[in-house]
Structure 1
Amino acid sequence: MSVKIKPLSNEQLNSIALTLFTQEPHSEVSDKYHFIPTIDVIEEIRANNWYPVNVAVANVRDEEKEGFQQHCVRFRHFEDLLNPKDNAVELLLFNSHDRSKAFSISAGIFRFVCANGLVISDSVFETYKIKHLGERDNDVSNAVANITAIKPKLMQKIEKLESITLNQSEKESFAKYSIPLRFEEHLEINHNDLLIPHREQDSKDDLYTVLNVIQENLLRGNIQGINKDTKRRFTSKEITSISKDTEVNKGIWDIAEKIASIKDSNYLVAA
């Protein structure tokens, strides 16, 4: 299964997230803060053959922070837009204009079958901080070049994870160790609920599919449990926080990598 994705124009980006076009930092930010408009970095990434395909913007409680809040732009390479496949490596740009999130670029995987975006752990791919634009000390170009270079290796990792089969006990262990990524110690859930697939294509036993099933259940919520302190039952909600989404994603990938290294002695955790 593959889906054709169209890149977002600046007009579309503007209608989705005005914060991408903010031209000055929040008033609370120090004068020493080196401000770079997000749209300037988007344009430079575009020039390196990666195109924006999705934007997430954090909600704000303080209305004064509107337009300055944390945001994440996902990019797909020209080749993957031209010839889409079941999985695609993505470039993730994080930023904020109130210092709640540093300007950085990371790598991710997008799985079309369930429209899930997986953020790759820092143990696999280093997160690059963005401090400069232009010819001198160009962090953007360096980060984009490194992600472009590692694309084939990340796809090979996915193929390897798809080749590793887990038995029921191993799947349950994966689920158990994933619980703390989302739920605090006083919140008790049945780990088997994290293994329930939402579509027929996910009723498989390979490590990559199990990873994505657990990820989807953790992120999208609707998992029932009990608060051990209050004895009250609860149902988890969808994760909407960009930071928490990233934290859970990276944690799941870390666990999957550990399982892969146990199941296959030839598996290399480092990309």
Structure 2
Amino acid sequence: MTFFHSSRATRSGFSAAMGAAPLSDAELAQVAPSAFATEAHASRSARYAYIPTADVIAGLRREGFVPVLARQTRPRDASRDGHTKHLIRFRHKGQASQPRRLGMTFPEVVLINSHDGTSAYHVTAGVFRLACLNGMVVSDGPERSVKVPHKGDVVHQVIEGSYEVLDVSRQAIAAADAWAGVTLNRDEQAILAEAARVIRFGDAAGHVATPIQAEQFLRARRAADTADDLWTTFNRVQENTIRGGLRAWGRDANNRPRRVRSREVTGIDQDVKLNRALWLLGERMAALKGAA
């Protein structure tokens, strides 16, 4: 996922904070106020156990997990404002406080929740790459994420789940190191790019109508990302998929030339879904290259 400084809000209605240091509750409340809702949305029934995300954050802090990035949705239905889906990324205390160097990767725990019924507590594994300020979510699976319904001892269950997925995040960092040792030829890079193009723009049948081409997903946005190894190639593809900004000439409904520009992925659900699909793609390529 891509995150921006707290002073900036994206045009699509999402706010985010870039965690150069652990975020305080006040900073979290500025960019993800739904995490501090004082009651569930009015649409929830009496069976819904309201456990505020703020309590979970406090519990995770006691266990050494500190929030470093956050975002939330701005709903189309104004009545849901203040209760919508929010995402908070945590690093364990030792990781969050260590000196930062360009290109570093950090294992993270990603917490997703809402107080309007659109999400249970969902804890999943993440990786953050400092070079491009990109947060990623690893491919999903029973051992890679934990869903906690709004009932019972939610705080304890989320904490236990966070330790589980933190181990997966650390394994993902080890996988990234292994991917960095795998060289891809042009055809193999093209396979990743074409798959990413379908993942990003394809319809239910896999048909792609955009004039944006697969090779554009391989373009480096910085000199440090021009290498041909799997990890660097994956990061180029992931960043171009999520951040958008790819340009091409297409045709409008009247067959007149028009400039096309891919949009940044800002929706939490779409962001997580795309990141998981791309991570799985990287894993499959690593397996084919004998680096699984």
* TM-score between the two structures when normalised by the length of structure 1: 0.89
Letter paired with 2:66: Y
Does the residue aligned with 1:163 lie in a helix, a strand or coil?
coil
Provide the residue aligned with 1:11 in structure 2.
26
8 Å Cα contact 2:125/2:138 also seen in 1: yes
Provide the residue aligned with 1:222 in structure 2.
245
Provide the residue aligned with 2:3 in structure 1.
none
Does the residue aligned with 1:187 lie in a helix, a strand or coil?
coil
8 Å Cα contact 2:89/2:109 also seen in 1: yes
8 Å Cα contact 1:181/1:247 also seen in 2: no
Structure 1 pair 198/161, CA: closer, same or farther in 2 (3 Å)? same
More moved, 47-56 vs 4-13: 4-13
Provide the residue aligned with 2:223 in structure 1.
200
Structure 1 pair 14/4, CA: closer, same or farther in 2 (3 Å)? closer
Q: Which of the residues 222, 229, 233 maps onto 1:210?
A: 233
Letter paired with 2:90: F
RMSD in angstroms over aligned alpha carbons? 2.3
8 Å Cα contact 1:108/1:120 also seen in 2: yes
Provide the residue aligned with 1:167 in structure 2.
185
Structure 1 pair 252/219, CA: closer, same or farther in 2 (3 Å)? same
Provide the residue aligned with 2:90 in structure 1.
75
Structure 1 distance, partners of 2:39, 2:125, is: 27
Identical residues among aligned pairs (%): 31
Provide the residue aligned with 2:9 in structure 1.
none
8 Å Cα contact 1:133/1:140 also seen in 2: no
Q: Which of the residues 96, 107, 112 maps onto 2:125?
A: 107
* TM-score between the two structures when normalised by the length of structure 2: 0.83
Provide the residue aligned with 1:245 in structure 2.
271
Q: Which of the residues 29, 32, 37 maps onto 2:44?
A: 29
Structure 2 distance, partners of 1:148, 1:119, is: 12
Shift of 1:186: 2.7
More moved, 106-115 vs 94-103: 94-103
Q: Which of the residues 183, 187, 190 maps onto 2:201?
A: 183
Q: 1:97-176 alignment to 2 at 5 Å?
A: 97-123=115-141, 125-131=143-149, 134=153, 138-176=156-194
Letter paired with 2:107: V
More moved, 11-20 vs 192-201: 11-20
Gaps of 5+ in 2: 1-17, 203-207
Aligned residues: 263
Does the residue aligned with 1:250 lie in a helix, a strand or coil?
helix
Structure 1 distance, partners of 2:54, 2:239, is: 30
Gaps of 5+ in 1: none
Structure 2 distance, partners of 1:65, 1:52, is: 24
8 Å Cα contact 1:19/1:68 also seen in 2: yes
Letter paired with 2:40: P
Does the residue aligned with 1:189 lie in a helix, a strand or coil?
coil
Letter paired with 2:283: E
Does the residue aligned with 2:180 lie in a helix, a strand or coil?
helix
Does the residue aligned with 1:94 lie in a helix, a strand or coil?
strand
Determine if the alignment matches structure 1 residue 261 to structure 2 residue 279: no
Shift of 1:116: 0.5
